[in-house]
A and B are shown apart, each in its own frame.
Chain A
Amino acid sequence: MSKMRKYLALTRAGIIEELGFRLATIVMIFGNIIYLTVIYFLWRSIFASSPTPVVNGMTFESTLIYLVLATAIFNFMEMYTVWEMGRNVQSGKIVLDLVRPMEYRSYLFWSYTGPTIMQFLTTFIPTFIIVECVTKAIPLGINLLYFIISIILAVMINYSIDFMVGTICLYSESIWGINIMKQVIVLLFSGATIPLAFFPEGLAKVASVLPFKAVYDGPLSILLMNSPEICDVLPILELQAFWAVMLYLLSVGFWKISLRQITVNGG
């Protein structure tokens, strides 16, 4: 119990820190609106040029909802963990974090929960409301509850992936290169730039065995279900739970092994 209080103190500190940067929040919401507009017009004209209104089982409306929400999820989950870890290794600050009476992985995770919650409220929720008002296509029922469970699992999976990629920074200090590779692969295979339904067979197969699908596609399909039964959502949640456990173990293991490698500047 006292452990939980320790963690929640970090969450609270994160939220308070975020509240100090109100202007940044406004810029972010503004940026989000521009981004959504661009996506809207782009896909509208793409579908207008197509001879049929349904392409690969996707209509303009369903494509838009999918892309907009996937982008919103991507934005609130991007916590720049890799940059933080990389910079801390470079500057040597990581030594201070390592001697804290808390595991580094948990410390970093819980200090990100505050900003993540704030980002969820300021970017995902407004986007969700706009989409709902414009299209009325998202059912408002029990699916929202399952969605929350699913999104929490997605945050855990995403963090494990980021933490693993961040661990690579212990071997090479090329943060930019490592991060950009992760980012483009995630953006492509999560379907956040182009919905997975449009993928040719080979690439779709690759996407289905990668964990990124569980981060984006999972929560989104649950969100778009109309009053789902538990048996409808269970396969998705099971797959997510599988990836969450699997990647947790992998990232912890990789970190433990890598820690022996550590060389820190300024010793």
Chain B
Amino acid sequence: MSRGLSFYLRIYVKILVQDLKSKMSYRADFIISMVGMILTNVVGFVSFKIMFSNFSSINGWSYNEMLFLYGFSLIAITPMQCMLDNNWSLRMNVYNGDFIKYCFRPINLFFYYESEVFDAKGLGQFGFGIATLVYAWNKLGLPVTFFSIIKTVIFAITASLFMMAMQNAAAATCFWIDRSFYVLDLTFRLREYAKYPVTIFNPVFRFLFTFLFPIAFIAYYPSLVILRPDKVPMLSWISPVIGVLWFYMSYRIWMRGARKYNGTGS
């Protein structure tokens, strides 16, 4: 990025306002989507309740601790939901040739493409996540200090980087393969399982979900810092660095695909 953060921030706000204005002209769509989002979260919560009405703990994790992980994972996927929603249209844009229009702007291609759509209904999910987290925090009697809140914020941002990275990389596969929808859909569905402690898996899959499909970083590793402060593994502490690395890598993959793109010629 040659042109500084403030320049991009100003542009982002400008595009965001335009997008929200155009969304507001389809008010019914906005309301129905919002209801759909809330219903998704309510059903997710009901499933969680049903599970724990039959089983009191999972692998040494109590109901409230699991609730904490659940809330944390909802917060961690919000930035991806809100800011990278245009990744879902990427394959359509690439196939029908519309993607070429993004290539001619004098600003960062990835930034411009993703800034075009802001998915406001993700904020409903964010609220749900915060409420769940606060409730679990309270029930567990965790200390509320300035330091613990700072830690939560930093690690929530870290966790969101992993989710965004996975989604970017998955969306970018459309530059190379047909029907990449399944790749994107699979990655998106994996997030459902981010809310369970990675210790339930055997070593092979624990490795896989830590280093190859890093869903363990979306809730488990970052939450340990708050939930079990006396035995935090090294991976939790260095997760911010790994998160930045993952995001950067996914960005490079995305850009490499975009550079390879040369239109459909129609």
Q: Do A and B come from one complex?
A: yes
A173 to B30, CA, bound (A): 10
A185 (CB) vs chain B CBs: closest residue: B43
Give the 5 A-B residue pairs with the shortest CB-CB distance, closest first.
Answer: A177-B32, A24-B179, A177-B36, A177-B33, A45-B200
Q: Which residues of B contact A193 (CB under 8 A)?
A: 47
Are B37 and A180 touching (Cβ within 8 A)?
Answer: yes
A41 to B44, CA, bound (A): 20
Q: Which residues of B contact A34 (CB under 8 A)?
A: 186, 190, 213
Contact string against A for B residues 197-209, beta-carbon threshold 8 Å, 1 for contact and 0 otherwise: 0001110010000
Contact residues of B with A, CB < 8 Å?
Answer: 26, 28-29, 32-37, 39-40, 43-44, 46-47, 50-51, 53-60, 177-179, 182-183, 186, 189-190, 193, 196, 200-202, 205, 213
Are B35 and A177 touching (Cβ within 8 A)?
Answer: yes
A187 to B44, CA, bound (A): 10
Decide if A27 is an interface residue (CB 8 Å cutoff).
Answer: yes
Are A21 and B178 touching (Cβ within 8 A)?
Answer: yes
A28 to B180, CA, bound (A): 10
A232 to B98, CA, bound (A): 57
Q: Which residues of B contact A174 (CB under 8 A)?
A: 26, 28-29, 32-33
A44 to B58, CA, bound (A): 10
Tell me the interface secondary structure of chain A in the complex: helix
Q: Which residues of A contact B29 (CB under 8 A)?
A: 172-174, 177
Contact size range, A: 35 or more
Are A41 and B50 touching (Cβ within 8 A)?
Answer: no
A181 to B121, CA, bound (A): 14
Q: Which residues of B contact A181 (CB under 8 A)?
A: 35-36, 39
Are B186 and A31 touching (Cβ within 8 A)?
Answer: yes
Q: Which residues of A contact B36 (CB under 8 A)?
A: 176-181
Q: Which residues of A contact B40 (CB under 8 A)?
A: 180, 184
A24 to B180, CA, bound (A): 7
Instruction: Name which of A48-56, A126-134, A137-145 contacts chain B.
Output: A48-56
Please provide the chain A residues from 1 to 52 with a CB less than 8 Å away from any CB of chain B in the complex.
21, 23-24, 27-28, 31, 34-35, 37-38, 41-42, 44-46, 48-50
Are A41 and B201 touching (Cβ within 8 A)?
Answer: yes
Please provide the chain A residues from 162 to 184 with a CB less than 8 Å away from any CB of chain B in the complex.
172-174, 176-181, 184
Are A42 and B200 touching (Cβ within 8 A)?
Answer: yes
B35 (CB) vs chain A CBs: closest residue: A177
Instruction: Name which of A198-206, A211-219, A234-242 contacts chain B.
Output: A198-206
A176 (CB) vs chain B CBs: closest residue: B33
Q: Which residues of B contact A184 (CB under 8 A)?
A: 39-40, 43-44
Are A23 and B60 touching (Cβ within 8 A)?
Answer: no
Q: Which residues of B contact A194 (CB under 8 A)?
A: 47, 50-51
Q: Which residues of A contact B179 (CB under 8 A)?
A: 21, 23-24, 27
Are A203 and B50 touching (Cβ within 8 A)?
Answer: yes
B52 (CB) vs chain A CBs: closest residue: A46
A18 to B40, CA, bound (A): 31
A46 to B47, CA, bound (A): 14
A172 (CB) vs chain B CBs: closest residue: B28
Q: Given A35-B189, A178-B36, A198-B54, A28 and B205 touching (CB < 8 A)?
A: no
Decide if A188 is an interface residue (CB 8 Å cutoff).
Answer: yes
Are B53 and A200 touching (Cβ within 8 A)?
Answer: yes
Q: Which residues of A contact B46 (CB under 8 A)?
A: 188, 203
